[in-house]
Every structure is written in C-alpha cells, then in structure tokens.
Amino acid sequence: MAATIIQENTTAFNTVDVDPITLDIIENALKNARFEMDATLFRTAMSPGIREQGDAFPLIADKGGLMLAGQFGSFIQGFLNGYDGTIEEGDIFWLSDPYTCEGAVSHANDWLVLLAIFKERRHVGWSAMFGHMTDVGGMVPGSLPTNAITIFQEGIRIPPVKLYRKGVRQEDLLKVVLHQCRMPEWAGADLNAIVAACRMAERRVVEMCDRFGSDTYISATLKLLDRNRRAMAQLIATSVGEEKVSFEDYVCDDGRGFGPYKIKCTMWREGDKVILDWEGTDPQSESSINFYLNENMLKMFFGIYMIMVFDPQILFNDGFYDLVEVRIPEGSLLKPRFPAALSCRTHALGRIFDVLGALLGQRQPEFLNAAGFSSSPHLMYSGYDSQGEWFQLFQIGFGGIPGRPFGDGPDGHSLWPGFTNVPNEFLEAYFPLRIERYETIADSGGAGLNRGGNGISIHYHFLQDGTISIHDDRWFTYPWGVHGGNPGMRSTKTLVRKDGEREVLPSKCDDISVRIGDVLIYNTWGGGGWGNPLDRDAELVAREVRQGLVSPQGARNYGVVLDVENDVDEAATRDLRAVMQENIKTSQIFNSGPSLEELRERCLAETGLPAPIQPVWN
C-alpha cells in the first residue's frame, strides 16, 4: 500500500550549487514561514485548547517528506505508507487515526491536515499541521476516556481522506465528522484554522521557488538536511558512548487500578549510529495510557535534546534520521497492537522526555536536568449552563520545570513549546466557574543548589452541576532530583464538597459528578532539584521563604534555619548544614525517593489512595 503523487509536470529537478549565504537565507525564510503558520492558527482557531494553550504543531517538509521546519519531526512518511490513493494539486488530506499513519498522530483527538505543495505543477514539498480537538465524540466529553479498552470508544477515527479534492471541500464528509463531535463549532473552526495555516506555508514555499528558482530551493533543502546530519554526527560521536546506558521510569497507573508501568530505554552507539532500544518497557495496557510512538518523532525528540545547548538558533530538521535507530518492542506500552485504546498517551509521552534526558545526562552530567513536569495534566468540566446551553472545558495544567545546570526551574510553567495558561478572567466569563486560588505550591519543587520549579495549585469553584474528568500522573512515583538534588513533590487532587466533606480523587478519573458550590483542589507536581541543596545561598532560601515559594520548614531541606523574622540564623544554619552534610551517604546521580516497595506500603497513608496493583502479563 502506498500513495501515488500525481504531477502533471514530471521534469526532474537539477541539482545546483547553493552558496552558503543563500542556504542560510532559505533556512531563515522557512523559519519565518513556520511562525506565520502559528500566527494564522492562533488568530483564527476557536477552542481554548488551541488558541490559548497552543496545542498544535506545524510542519514544513521537503519533497521527500523530511521535516525542514517544525517541532515534532515529519509525519509525512507515515501518512504515505498508510494512504493508498492519489495525491494531486489542490488536494488537502485529513486524518486522525494513529493506526493508519504509523503514529504520525498519537490519539484520535489530534486532527492532522497535510497537503502536497506544487510549483508549476511539479511537487516541491509538504506542509502539515495537527491540533488537539476539544472533543471528537466517544464515551466521555473531551474524548479522552481513561478506562477505554479499545480505540473504538475514543471517538471518531478519521483514516487518511481528502478534505479538499482538487481544491473543492468535501462538505458531506466534513458534516459527517463534525456530527460526531460534542463541540462541532469549535472543531469546524479549528480545522479551518489548521487548513489556513497549511496554505500559508504552501504560499511561502512557492514564493521561495519563485525567488530563488525551484532547482535552487530543492537543492537547498537537501543541503539543509545534510547540514543537520553533519552536526548531529559530530554530536553523537562525542556525546554518546559505545557502552550501553539504561534508564527506566514509570507511568504511575492506568486509571483502572494497575501500575506502575515501566518505560525503559537503553542507548549506545555503533559506529556513527545511535541505538535507542526500548526493550524492557512493559507490555501494552488494557486501558488508554498506551502511546503509539512514531520512531521518527522519537528521533526528533532525541536530536533536539542533543542540540539545544550547542546552537539554539539552528532550524532543526530531519536530516540526521539515518544516524538514529529506534527499536520499540511490538505489543509494548509504546507500540500497542490495534485496537488498543490510546487517548491518554500524554503521560507516557511526557515520561519519554525524562528518560531521554536521563540517558543523555548520564554521559554528560554537566547537561543533566532533573525530572520535570514532563506531562500535561488535563481537567475536563462539562454540563449545561443556566441557559440550558452545553458547555465543555478542556484545560491543560502546568507545573514545575526541573532544576537545571542553567539555574532554577521556573515555577508553574510549561515544558511544552508555545503552551500558555488560559486567563482566569476568561474562564470565569465564559464558563460557570470561579478560580478561587491560583498559586504555586511552596516546597513542591525539589530542593537543590538549583531548585526545582513548584507545581501549581488551582481551586476550581463550580457554579453549575456537571461532570469532570482528570488526567494526571506522578502521584505515586516521584519526579527525581539529580546530582544531590531532592525529588519534587507529587501531585494530588481533592474535591471539597459544598458541605465541607473532602474526597481524594484519583490522578486519573472520568465521570465525577460535581455540584454547585463544590471546589476541586487541583495540585500538580514539582520539578526535581539539581545539585546539593546545602550549597544553595542561604540568603536566597530566606528570600524565597518571604516570597512564599518555600516554607520555613521547607528551608530546612536546604539546611537553612530562619529566625522569627524569616532571616537566616547563621550559626544554626552552619550547624545544621554540617550535620546534614555528614549524613549524605552516597553520591548517586539520581534520587527518585523511596523504592517502589516502600511507596506501595506507604501509599494509602501518604496519598489517601490505595497503591496500584502490579500488572501481570502472560
């Protein structure tokens, strides 16, 4: 099965020499075009998830489908392998089923739009973008059912189809799909916005072909890919060793009471090639925490983590793909078999970044960051407002950026590019909600020479009866610290009923009924600390106590004793630090807190929730 690209003009492109300056200019122009895609999207999309929080990702690819500008690597090849029809000028494709595109998108909420770019009836490249729809139907509002056991419960699945056929929009198709969504206006507008963004990129690529000549443009794209490849080859040779390093981390539970699920990766180099082998990762889950991981996307994540500190201005592309080999066991959490449920893949997606960071950092400790807010927790709240109109909120939360060699982790920020919070005054104006408290949680960032960022506490006061869903993680295992830094605090969710009764809610849950006057306390987790907290400037610790970022008790994690005025008690601090320094036993790189066994034993007492049951596979 393979797609056929139909070009009316099949003249081959000539390979021409491109001087380095022209090359840099084309690189810049591609970068600008990508930003124009984002700008178009944000200004015209309607769902808060896309337009306020930026949950959408652009791509400009070369003729061969490799990413020239974008963030998540190219998903063109997966589409080409999964689509067996023709691709013509004026066609615009649309899909959302991860199983039909090799995981180009990883759950059905992400709608992917792509189009082939033609110049003088010759194919010169691709533009594409996917964005997260607030709702695509299925068993729960928001279409991210924690306890789904097949993808058929997760809303409409769109295989690769033509949304536009030679420039004509397929209205019936659109009507059928939007009819499945609980928020059809948002989905329709967001889809429009994504199409407009792709067309913007198309125009820019055609203009570049006009300006420089198509031959030069095509040759330049090849050179850009090659430039990245050379840079990465050098980086790989110097920073990845031939001996194997491994790291494992966990998704705490699957929302059905089982967990934790292990994600393990081993990295080594063979010649100029890096192997990332996910052998040892647990088998797929029965519920929806599976992450259908696209190998190319993983290569991109890996590459960006490698290069970020060396030439941040670079326009990162796919040129180095053959230097990285990714092995993912079939039937594992990261490559589940159809029709496994996929909707809540965000936790595994996030954890992969912690694992990659840890793998690279073991070889180059000076670049090692602690574990962070490597997920995007969600809250869904829906129901009928006082006018009888359906409302549906999908909100992404934020937390602590990890402690880093570059400094403290910011409090309550996003690790995902372009994500922002939704202004609370906006929420209160458009949803039956009041945000009573919006602050970061003192001491939740792990202590360290560089402190981990604090998690956020949001108090949602519900003003209408409705239903909520929660997706979060790291409530059972800790975000680890490094180089002597402490782990960050774990996440918690508490529902305070109007009558004052408090209920601890699981980290992942659906269909929780809330009533007018109930308050949900949604606490996210903090980032791990970096470096020995006893080395942190005591005055800075005291200042952070006055700022409310660290509590007086929390200051003791840094060996800092304060007086009643919250000024440093220097003598007591010296003594306490000396004692604490004595007690530091080993100098291990990672500190994830207690062992899994201990965590299980203390789970109910510490979290108010039963420990997850170890899953067993045949």
Q: Looking at residues 16 to 75 of the shown chain, list those that interact with another protein (rule: CB under 8 A).
A: 19-21, 23-25, 27-29, 32, 36, 39-40, 42-48, 51-52, 71-72
CA 403 – CA 445 distance, rounded (Å)? 8
Residue 230 lies near another protein (rule: CB under 8 A)? yes
Question: Which one, 313 or 587, has the nearer CB to another protein?
Answer: 313
Interface of this chain with another protein, residues 108 to 167, rule: CB under 8 A: none
Beta carbons within 10 angstroms of residue 271's beta carbon: 9
What character string, x for contact with another protein (CB under 8 A) and - otherwise, covers 353-392? --------------x-x--x--------------------
Length of the chain: 618
Structure tokens at 577: 């630090």
CA distance 271 to 255: 42
In terms of DSSP bridges, do strands 324-327 and 273-277 run parallel, antiparallel, or are they unpaired?
parallel
Looking at the Cβ atoms of 40 and 287, the one nearer to another protein is: 40
Q: Which stretch binds another protein (CB under 8 A): 3-11, 94-102, 380-388, 408-416?
A: 408-416
Report in angstroms how near the CB of residue 79 gets to another protein at its nearest.
Answer: 21
Least spacing, CB of residue 49 vs another protein, in Å:
11
Angular region, 538: left φ>0, alpha ψ -120 to 50, beta rest: alpha
Minimum CB–partner distance for residue 279 and another protein (Å): 25
Stretch that binds another protein, among 100-108, 267-275, 405-413, 494-502 (CB under 8 A): 405-413
Residue 314 burial (CB < 10 Å; 0-12/13-18/19+)?
middle
Residues contacting 389, CB < 8 A, separation 6+: none
Residues 415-444 that bind another protein (CB under 8 A): 415-421, 423-426, 428-429, 434-440
At 161 the three-state DSSP class reads: strand
Which CB, 129 or 235, lies closer to another protein?
Answer: 235
Which residue among 150, 234, 513, 581 contacts another protein (CB under 8 A)?
234
- 604 CB-contact burial (10 Å; exposed 0-12 / middle 13-18 / buried 19+): exposed
Please identify which residue in 307, 509, 572, 603 interacts with another protein, judged by CB under 8 A.
307
Q: Among 260-268, 282-290, 305-313, 607-615, which window interacts with another protein (CB under 8 A)?
A: 305-313
Question: Is the CB of 238 or the CB of 513 nearer to another protein?
Answer: 238
What is the size of the binding site for another protein (CB under 8 A)?
90
Work out the widest C-alpha separation in the chain, in whole angstroms.
82
**HEC string for 216-262:** HHHHHHHHHHHHHHHHHHHHHHHHCCCCCEEEEEEECCCCCCECCEE
d(CA 196, CA 38): 10
Q: Which of 106, 109, 290, 414 binds another protein (CB under 8 A)?
A: 414
Could you tell me which stretch among 1-9, 488-496, 539-547, 609-617 binds another protein (CB under 8 A)?
A: 539-547
